[in-house]
Amino acid sequence: MALKYSARLQIAFLALNLILSCTQQHASASDDTSLAASSRKKVDEEEDEIGYIQSLIVNTPAVASVESSYQEIEVYDSDHFGKVFVLDDCLQLTERDAPHYNEMLAHVPVMEYLGRRSSTTSSGTNDDKLKVLVVGGGDGYVVSELLKHPQIESIDHVELDEEVINVSKEHLPWGDAWKDEKVNLIIGDGAAYVKQQADKGESYHVIVQDASDPFWIDEDGGVTTLPSSVLYDTSHFESLYKLLRPKEGVLIFQAETYNIPSNLESIRKWRGLLGDIGFGNPRYGSISISTYPTGQIGFFAAHARDDGGGGEKVCEASDACVGDGGVVVEEMVAWW
């Protein structure tokens, strides 16, 4: 009887030791979790207008943190999205999905220009080298993508904040773009530079405007006008039009998301404005990108009007057609 009691007691002690061991392991794991949590932070993207918020978890401390004359510039590492570029706590791009946006802004206008040029020359070829203007886009990704086109002879890149350039050079994988001899970097006001060049009678084959949001809707419904709003003024678009090479020049610019009412209203306004100024065939293109609010952002592509009648016909929706010049032209996206 004593032997049976002793065996039961041993089993009880073993069970107790097992419970204590599991408790200690759980406590250790909780401590590790707390430690991991303390070395991370959330970068939030809020859209009060539609009651929307999304977060991206980044590792801390920041890889780079610089306070320029215009804004706070930060670069973080993240486990899934790679490098994360942040201005004034607003996410600008991540290494993983930055190609979704930047490749479109770089390659769409160049390919459209080459297609239009081919359709308006009798031989279908032209040895002219392209001159490109990039306004904004201080992270350098658009410039790096444009350099992939051998037809491009020169790129004038205008960026207001030199510190954005410096941080991007040091911490982003495409930071060597400015070292290319084709790139002419101008530190200054983009709107002022565009007006100055237009007044001088300069012209570009392709213009890319990679600007940040022009306004913000506050929590109380008020509108906060942001510094980049000057890049969306009527006078600025008029100067951009003057800068485009006649008949063939192509403009593309960041044009917000259609998922937010105020943005959608701006999209409609900009499309009408482009047509009123004289741009031909202004079209809104949609980009799916997971780290931008609502997972979508857009751009406008438009070109200098061909008053001589280039024979081009643009089709509705996704239908393709062939114009008199022999080039197939497809509508990229829905019309707004």
What φ, ψ does residue 215 adopt, rounded to 5°? -155, 170
**Range of weakest confidence among 19-23, 140-144, 166-170, 285-289:** 19-23
- Which candidate, 260, 272, 155, places its Cα nearest to that of 213? 260
- Residue 138 pLDDT > 70: yes
Q: Is 120:306 a contact under the CB 8 Å cutoff?
A: yes
Taking the model in full, what pTM does it have?
A: 0.81
- Residue 2 pLDDT > 60: no
Give residue 312's pLDDT band: very low, low, confident or very high (50, 70, 90): very low
Q: Mean of the per-residue pLDDT values for the chain? A: 85
Give residue 57's pLDDT band: very low, low, confident or very high (50, 70, 90): very high
Residue 83 has a pLDDT of: 98
E strand or H helix that includes residue 85: strand 82-87
Average of per-residue pLDDT across 163-181? 97
Average of per-residue pLDDT across 265-278? 97
Residue 118 has a pLDDT of: 76
What is the edge-to-edge ordering of all strands in the sheet holding 206-210?
Answer: 183-187, 152-159, 130-136, 206-210, 250-254, 296-304, 279-288
Point out the catalytic residue in the list 156, 210, 220, 319: 210
Residue 319 has a pLDDT of: 40
Residue 117 has a pLDDT of: 80
Distance CA 148, CA 204 (A): 18
- Which candidate, 188, 231, 228, 187, places its Cα nearest to that of 207? 231
Residue 36 has a pLDDT of: 53
Residue 121 has a pLDDT of: 61
Residue 38 has a pLDDT of: 60
Residue 318 has a pLDDT of: 39
**Structure confidence by residue, pLDDT tens digits, 83-121:** 999 999 999 999 999 999 999 999 999 999 998 887 666
Does residue 276 carry a catalytic annotation?
no
Residue 308 has a pLDDT of: 40
Give residue 7's pLDDT band: very low, low, confident or very high (50, 70, 90): low
Residue 219 has a pLDDT of: 86
**Structure confidence by residue, pLDDT tens digits, 230-254:** 999 999 999 999 999 998 899 999 9
The verdict on whether omega for the bond into residue 150 sits within 30 degrees of 0, i.e. cis, is: no
